[in-house]
Copies of this chain bind each other. A is one copy, B any other.
Amino acid sequence: MDIIVLRPDTPEEGIRHVLKKLESKGLKATISQGTERTIIGVIGDTSKITEEEEDAIRAMEGVENVVRILKPYKLASREFKKEDSEINVKGNIIGGKKIPVMAGPCAVENKTILMNIAEKVKEGGATFLRGGAYKPRTSPYSFQGLGEEGLRYLADAREKTGLPIITEIMDPRDMDVIIEYADIIQIGARNMQNFRLLLEVGSVDKPVLLKRGLSATIKEWLMSAEYIMSRGNQNVMLCERGIRTFETATRNTLDLSAVPVLKKLTHLPVVVDPSHGVGKWDLVAPMAKAAVAAGADALIIEVHSNPEEALSDGEQSLKPDMFAQLMKELKPIAQAVGREI
């Protein structure tokens, strides 16, 4: 059901034009003529009205506003599927009572460092190992990741620790090689609306962690999830990682209210990345706790054994002992909200 608001000066012909268009879609309309506005209520399955048709109606003479009542996403919507989705990755459930934690370095730098971190985060209580082999960097002169070599190191670390791995894809042409190694494929914030890449991960049989774009509304984010799901892959988790605002005291503004908002709108699991959200290691622990208290289904945290030597994002990485300490401190909070960690 949709609503079209017309100004009093709308020509009769304009109204007829709108009505004919609706009819051609098999939709019915009720007209309420007020003194100041005329309102057309559209009855029937208005999800048939596409985005471009909505735009076209907006472009018509006399049309002041089009109010869409139904959400533009379906598969991702809580109305479509009432119960929480659980994603099973090699026996680890994301979206269940237990809150899994994905930890590791921002970028895979070399085998020794990665192995060391992997063992440390495993000891600390992590359930997944994170690490980037392909890195989106704002500068072309920065370290861009080890590529497939990095993926092999991740696989080695998985073999040693038993931790499934999550790693980022940046280019559809890397799909074949990434799929060979990754347990969860990550779509980074800068690619949240790289629609071709979304369609690509929608066509494979691997869980996807979809990070929120820097200035993406929750609605746009869910539309990007819908892109993936529309291709068949239903195993999508949403990861809040901070949005861009005017505040510069933190790298981004971690929007924790997105967690309960998403829990209302969608059945998909919600992950929080406090490391990118704040960008400073000493703010990570309080925000990780807040994320759990707000209802997050999982966390993803940067850990590096030697942040001062990290090739990427050292500023926001926890050292392994801080990570282990944080994991302990998260336990009673998880319990307080009926979860486990």
Contact = CB atoms under 8 A, between A and B. Distances in A.
A326 to B, nearest CB: 12
A170 interface: yes
Per assembly, the copies of the chain total 4
A247 B243 contact: yes
Contact of A223 (B36, B138, B315): B138
A125 interface: no
Interface residues of A, number: 108
A79 interface: yes
A141 B314 contact: no
A111 interface: no
A260 B287 contact: yes
A283 interface: yes
Contacts of A70: 36-37
Interface stretch (A92-100, A151-159, A332-340): A332-340
A108 interface: no
A317 interface: yes
Interface stretch (A115-123, A176-184, A214-222): A214-222
A113 interface: no
A250 interface: yes
Interface string A13-57: 000010000000000001010101101010100000011100111
A333 B291 CA distance: 12
A41 B39 contact: yes
B246 A215 contact: yes
18 contacts: A1-B37, A37-B69, A50-B139, A52-B314, A55-B314, A59-B308, A136-B193, A138-B193, A173-B196, A219-B249, A243-B245, A245-B245, A246-B246, A254-B256, A287-B294, A290-B293, A290-B294, A293-B333
